[in-house]
Amino acid sequence: MTGGIFAILDDIAMLLDDAAIATKISIKKTAGILGDDLAVNAEKSSGFASNRELPVLYAITKGSFINKALILPVAFLLSAYASFLIVPILLVGGVYLSYEGFEKIHQYIKQKTNKQTKENEKKILTEQQKIKSAILTDFVLSIEIVILTLGTVINYSLTTQIIATTIVAMVATIGVYGLVALIVRMDDVGFYIINNSTKNSSKQKFGETLVFALPKVIKLLTIVGTAAMLLVGGGIFSHNIDILHHINDIVFGFGFGFDFFVGLVVGFVTYLTLKVLKVLFA
């Protein structure tokens, strides 16, 4: 009886060891997409009134956990029984991200040429609509993270795959939105440091730097977040469509630049298609 218990404990220890190794490998492999995820979600979570930033971030984080709870079981079933559907699902997500990225660039150009556009956007997009948009973008990025993670642990047992992929998905949500919370509240930390430091001290100057830096960090994240959507969207196409993969290797050979270009083209084509459909069915 005692030997049986020790055998079970040994099996559990081996399983956890495999899961730990698989999780470590998966996090390394998905580091790039996690970085893009951070940039995109930081950009999506900014631009709200100061007293609404944390409630909005909480709503988006909660939506992200729901996204993972929906995606993980479906991803495991697809991986086991219908793996041929994974790439088409990724491509649909790539279309959405590319369109989002292109639309942001298009809106920026319009804002430069028409000052009223920015004001109109503020009136049209409510807080709830922005939250829904952020959660939808998180859904697409979550699919990419889960599928990439599954791809790195495909040679492990199903149980190890489930444990490792679930851990990576949860770490992605907690880590990304934890960092986003720190970024959007950076000015509050700065004001706290200023109020609790002596005049003209290095501590006070550090607090002032945090307050001064926040708008610039948010602006930078807006640019990086838009670029990240195009990079991830284009990357989904260039990595999963053989002809694009070969064109990149043979003609271009500059990975990220080609992914961005593909994302821009896919976003532009999607934008035009939606415009035509809107005219036809209006």
Query: CA separation (Å) from 114 to 101, 104, 105, 109, 272?
Result: 20, 15, 14, 9, 21
Query: What local confidence, expressed as pLDDT, does residue 254 receive?
Result: 57
Single-letter amino acid, residue 17: D
Rounded to an integer, what distance in angstroms lies between the CA atom of residue 139 and that of residue 244? Answer: 25
Closest CA to 147 of 77, 238, 224, 226: 77
From first to last of the 282 residues of the chain, give the pLDDT tens digit.
Answer: 454 554 554 445 554 555 566 666 555 555 556 666 676 767 666 666 667 778 888 888 899 899 999 999 988 888 778 878 878 888 888 898 889 889 888 888 887 776 554 445 444 567 788 888 888 888 888 887 888 777 777 777 777 788 888 888 888 888 888 888 888 788 888 888 888 888 878 888 888 888 888 788 877 877 887 888 888 888 888 878 888 777 766 665 555 688 888 899 999 999 999 988 888 886
Rounded to an integer, what distance in angstroms lies between the CA atom of residue 102 and that of residue 226? Answer: 8
Query: What local confidence, expressed as pLDDT, does residue 9 receive?
Result: 45
Query: What local confidence, expressed as pLDDT, does residue 122 receive?
Result: 47
- In a 13 Å sphere around the CA of 201, the CA atoms on its Cβ side amount to 10
Query: What local confidence, expressed as pLDDT, does residue 123 receive?
Result: 47
Rounded to an integer, what distance in angstroms lies between the CA atom of residue 28 and that of residue 34? Answer: 10
Write the CB contacts of 178 (distance below 8 Å, at least 6 apart in sequence).
none
3 state SS of 247? helix
Rounded to an integer, what distance in angstroms lies between the CA atom of residue 258 and that of residue 261? Answer: 5
